[in-house]
């Protein structure tokens, strides 16, 4: 049985969420709270397995409550947001940055055509997040100089020149990506393509949030555009993203892979075909195994591959699978990834031994 604490300031919405969660035989709502202060008290008294958290609340908002919880009694937190307006979503990702695991739109009301699907999605995410037993926060990397960080890795003698970097992430990915992009040099000389598993409706707000700290321009990828050096391209909601022969981005409605669209595997396969040994590819924190087999394909083509280590991952699923398969050229803590990328690109694919 998964015990859930529902934190929501609206009594009507609170009862609605309780109704949805209690409809599943594996979930019980054991307590509720109307603001962040009540949430802290309820957490101490009831010790839930998962918390659903509202953002805009009196006394103590969802971001501050999340931060306190993660600092004092780490518990899986799912943000349930009443808005996907990009202008308001930034504060939602501040909560993710503080340690929340996932963000969901509030399920559609009873009678709405999307009610069953959105309610089912909420139940599914709560169950998945209940499996995350240890929730870690990592040190902030904003403003760090990649050149100042030592990166120890095998020296790879390669004739190839790095022409593209591709990254896949899932649970725990937003703050990990923010840490990396805020630490890369402003004149990073190749494009970066990213697939981040995320509930539809939040990608535009996520990109706006990333822009606040990234040293590089961040965009939602568009059909047919040629990626520019030093620019970051995020796969859009509900589209598969790949590259074609000239390197242009192609977006399709092809079937999901590993339950995801966009999927990391879909992008990685195309990069292996088009760029081969001229690519750098990596997997960050996240559930599942999306992209792990395709990382093997990239490595076989001569690409440099990396995986985030267990200690700095919120969930060591995808990256852990890549390590288990032996397809990661390097296993790196989060705080070393930006430095490694900067060195790989600067050295035309050769990784410098750290001092």
Residues assigned a catalytic role = 170, 197, 290
What are the φ/ψ torsions at residue 64 (nearest 5 degrees)?
A: -65, -40
DSSP state of 236: P
Residues 6+ apart with CB under 8 A from 112: none
Task: Please state whether 226 falls in left (phi above 0), alpha (psi between -120 and 50) or beta.
Answer: beta
Q: Give 326: exposed, middle or buried? Use CB within 10 Å, 0-12, 13-18, 19+.
A: exposed
Q: Which residues contact 178 (CB under 8 A, 6 or more apart)?
A: 97, 142, 209, 210, 213, 214
Q: Considering only CA atoms, which of 100, 81, 90 is closest in space to residue 172?
A: 100
- Answer yes or no: are the C-beta atoms of 297 and 166 closer than 8 Å: no
User: What is the distance between the alpha carbons of residues 182 and 214, in angstroms, rounded to a whole number?
Assistant: 4
What are the strands of the beta sheet with 77-81, ordered from one edge? 27-33, 2-7, 50-53, 77-81, 102-105
* Contacts of 38 by beta carbon, 8 Å cutoff, 6+ apart: 7
Backbone angles phi, psi at 338, to 5 degrees: -60, -45
End-to-end CA distance of the chain: 51
* Helix, strand, coil percent values for the chain (each to nearest 5): 35, 20, 45
How many residues comprise the chain? 355
Sign, Cα dihedral of 336, 337, 340, 342: negative
β-strand partners of 251: 241
């Amino acid at each position: 049985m998964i015990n859930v604490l529902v934190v929501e300031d609206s009594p009507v919405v609170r009862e609605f969420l309780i109704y949805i969660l209690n409809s599943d035989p594996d979930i019980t709502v054991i307590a509720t709270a109307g603001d962040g202060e009540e949430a802290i008290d309820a957490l101490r008294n009831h010790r839930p397995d998962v918390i659903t958290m509202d953002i805009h609340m009196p006394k103590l908002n969802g971001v501050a409550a999340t931060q306190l919880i993660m600092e004092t009694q780490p518990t899986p937190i799912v943000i349930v947001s009443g808005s996907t307006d990009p202008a308001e979503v930034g504060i939602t990702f501040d909560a993710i940055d503080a340690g929340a695991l996932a963000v969901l739109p509030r399920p559609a009301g009873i009678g709405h055509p999307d009610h069953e699907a959105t309610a089912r999605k909420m139940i599914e995410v709560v169950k998945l997040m209940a499996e995350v037993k240890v929730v870690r926060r990592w040190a902030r990397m904003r403003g760090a100089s990649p050149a100042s960080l030592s990166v120890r890795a095998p020296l790879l003698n390669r004739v190839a020149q790095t022409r593209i970097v591709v990254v896949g992430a899932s649970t725990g990915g937003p703050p990990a990506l923010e840490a990396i992009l805020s630490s890369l040099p402003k004149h990073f000389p190749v494009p970066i393509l990213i697939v981040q598993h995320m509930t539809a409706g939040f990608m535009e707000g996520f990109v706006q949030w990333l822009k606040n700290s990234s040293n590089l321009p961040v965009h939602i990828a568009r059909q047919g555009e040629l990626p520019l050096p030093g620019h970051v391209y995020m796969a859009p909601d509900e589209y598969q993203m790949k590259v074609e022969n000239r390197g242009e981005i192609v977006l399709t409605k092809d079937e999901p892979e590993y339950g995801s669209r966009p999927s990391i595997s879909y992008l990685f396969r195309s990069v292996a075909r088009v760029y081969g040994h001229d690519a750098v590819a990596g997997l960050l924190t996240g559930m599942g195994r999306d992209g792990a087999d395709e990382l093997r394909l990239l490595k076989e083509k001569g690409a440099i591959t990396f995986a985030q280590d267990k200690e700095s991952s919120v969930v060591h699923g995808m990256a852990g699978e890549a390590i288990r398969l032996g397809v990661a050229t390097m296993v790196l803590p989060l705080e070393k990834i930006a430095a490694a990328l900067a060195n790989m690109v600067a050295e035309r694919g050769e990784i410098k031994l750290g001092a």
